Structure 1
Amino acid sequence: MNAPQLKTLRLDADKDTGVAVVTLDRPGRLNAVDLEMAGELRTLWRGLRFDDSVRAVVLTGAGERAFCTGIDRDVVVPQPSSPYMQDDPLLTVGPKANDLWKPVVAAVRGMACGGAFYLLGECEFIVADATAVFFDPHTTYGMVSAYESVLMTQRMPYGEVARMVLMGNAERIGARRAHEIGLVSEVTGEGEALAGAVRCAEVIARCPTEAVQGTVRALWAAKEAARAPAFAQAPHLIALGNLPVERQAELFGGRRGGEFGVR
């Protein structure tokens, strides 16, 4: 794969181990996703399909404060007037949405909230350090948590997802609790999540490629059966349930994009 010119991401591939590390690289904005990053993620995932030297991927965020805080609040995405249609740039930022069936392990440090679940929901498993915290502030700001809720019910018990998404900004799931409920597969010491995720990815990359990718596809097939009809309900639930943009802005209290962006 010819490395694309990246402005919001970093790609570091180790040809010896077969592991590539993809880093969300907007630490000054808490790695919130703007339209440029969304486009680069799509290009990167699709490009990795053609690089046979990459057999496993680790996804992480730059800096100490956040893995990702969802979409940058400065992003403006015009929406159709119909409640049955919605333009959501985050729907295509994940590896599975881009037909990449190589295993992806997430390494989380600091905050992972709101739209970050679009990415985490398409990773095979999550390694988090002791500082990791997971939350979904949608309801606090008058927004429906739709896609995020669907993705997280495939990773967490229903009651835990319901508590997190319904309590909004008031409910934070720390690393230890995330491990107890199965959201996180391993908790490391502070600053060690990336190394832990890379170790796992290196083990996976040593296994026969076809067997690994077939297994990833089989795992995702089980999730797709429930995910597709649930996603079909999301656009009109969001359109009917979200407060007007101006009212959302009031509830955000003037907070600028990149600070707890949601979707």
Structure 2
Amino acid sequence: MSGPGTTGAPDTPGITVERDEETGVAVVTLDRPERHNAITPDMARALGAVWRGFRYEDGVRAIVVTGAGGRAFSTGIDRTAVGEVPQPSSPYTIDDPLLAIGPKANDLWKPVVAAVEGMACGGAFYLLGEAEFLIAGEDAAFFDPHTTYGMVSAFETVHMALRMPYGEIARMALMGGAERISARRAYETGLVSELTPPGGALAAAIAAAAVVAGHPTEAVQGTVRALWSVQQAARAQALAHAPHLVALGNLPADRQAELFGKRGTGFRTR
């Protein structure tokens, strides 16, 4: 975004926020391209603060979320930083640093459009699952490697289950890192609403967000809230089970690390 009405600067390392005063559109960028925009605990906390802050910015009427660099939207949690998050010993709870990185988890009902280029996997689904719709470059790919590394895909699967046909989300979760869903397949099954040439997702998302931002904001936010009310009860019930499933089903951390170190380079894209 550029022009006389654009303001913005990094709010925290790894995240940039730009606001266009003329269109009412803000762009939130995960900005760690050297790490495929993997999310650290500090970034997770900052994202929550960004979404909550937008509730008080009347000049921001629609938001685009994207990843920098073109190679990835995000590859989820930064595994090198996972050790920074202590976990309770109880099997009935888990301290998930990504649990509140999405707009809806922070009570923001302004519309959010996701612009996806490159890889989007694992913890990226916490954000994609809370966007109103996705626009993707033709080279985008979606996958969930949890089962490959002896981890339960619970939170991620729940976030995406109401965006994808059951067979598609089940296949993606169970195949793990062995298979990636192409942007074309994601478009055909409804996960992605618009395909663009590689590198064009952000511009298309900003254009769509600007149209939405031009409508009366009360009507727009009411519509977002109505849409989410359809799935909110089922989603909340499913997420309530997630901590127990993760605590019971995950391999020990050292075994996960061993599998991660042995990961292969081959995968199938469909």
> Which category describes the TM-score, using the shorter chain as reference length?
over 0.9
Please, which of 42, 58, 71 is the counterpart of residue 36 of structure 1? 42
- State the 4+ residue runs in structure 1 displaced beyond 6 angstroms: 1-4
Larger displacement relative to structure 2 (246-255 or 54-63): 246-255
Please, which of 218, 223, 226 is the counterpart of residue 231 of structure 2? 223
| Aligned position for 1:235 | 243
| Aligned position for 2:4 | none
| Aligned position for 1:102 | 110
Partner Cα distance (2:171, 2:99) in 1: 24
Q: Does 1:146 align with 2:160?
A: no
Higher relative contact order (CA 8 A, sep 6+): 1
Structure 2: gaps (5+ residues): 1-6, 264-270
| Aligned position for 2:253 | 245
User: What is the TM-score of this pair, normalised by structure 1?
Assistant: 0.94
The one-letter code of the counterpart of 1:151 is: H
Within 5 Å, give how 1:90-169 maps onto structure 2. Answer: 90-169=98-177
Secondary structure class of the residue paired with 2:114: strand
Larger displacement relative to structure 2 (221-230 or 123-132): 221-230
Q: Percent identity?
A: 68
User: What is the TM-score of this pair, normalised by structure 2?
Assistant: 0.92
Q: Does 1:11 align with 2:17?
A: yes
User: Is the 8 Å Cα contact of residues 111 and 133 (structure 1) preserved in structure 2?
Assistant: yes
Partner Cα distance (1:111, 1:152) in 2: 16
1:5 to partner: Cα distance: 3.4
What do residues 77-109 of structure 1 show as CA deviations (whole Å, max 9, x unaligned)?
A: 221121111000101000111111100000000
Q: Does 1:62 align with 2:56?
A: no
| Aligned position for 1:178 | 186
User: Is the 8 Å Cα contact of residues 8 and 40 (structure 1) preserved in structure 2?
Assistant: no
User: Is the 8 Å Cα contact of residues 4 and 44 (structure 1) preserved in structure 2?
Assistant: no
| Aligned position for 1:210 | 218
User: Is the 8 Å Cα contact of residues 8 and 17 (structure 2) preserved in structure 1?
Assistant: no
Please, which of 50, 58, 82 is the counterpart of residue 52 of structure 1? 58
1:246 to partner: Cα distance: 0.2
Larger displacement relative to structure 2 (7-16 or 132-141): 7-16
Partner Cα distance (1:8, 1:248) in 2: 26
User: Is the 8 Å Cα contact of residues 121 and 151 (structure 1) preserved in structure 2?
Assistant: yes
The one-letter code of the counterpart of 2:253 is: V
What do residues 140-188 of structure 1 show as CA deviations (whole Å, max 9, x unaligned)?
A: 0000000111111100000000000000001100000000011000010
Partner Cα distance (1:253, 1:89) in 2: 23
User: Is the 8 Å Cα contact of residues 138 and 165 (structure 1) preserved in structure 2?
Assistant: yes
Please, which of 191, 194, 197 is the counterpart of residue 205 of structure 2? 197
Secondary structure class of the residue paired with 2:38: coil
CA spacing shift, 1:196–1:144, aligned 2, 3 Å: same
Secondary structure class of the residue paired with 2:98: helix
Secondary structure class of the residue paired with 1:41: helix
Partner Cα distance (1:13, 1:6) in 2: 16
Larger displacement relative to structure 2 (68-77 or 135-144): 68-77
Q: Does 1:27 align with 2:33?
A: yes
| Aligned position for 2:266 | none
Partner Cα distance (2:199, 2:237) in 1: 38
What do residues 107-146 of structure 1 show as CA deviations (whole Å, max 9, x unaligned)?
A: 0000000000000000000000011000000000000000
User: Is the 8 Å Cα contact of residues 107 and 128 (structure 1) preserved in structure 2?
Assistant: yes
Structure 1: gaps (5+ residues): 256-263
1:6 to partner: Cα distance: 2.4
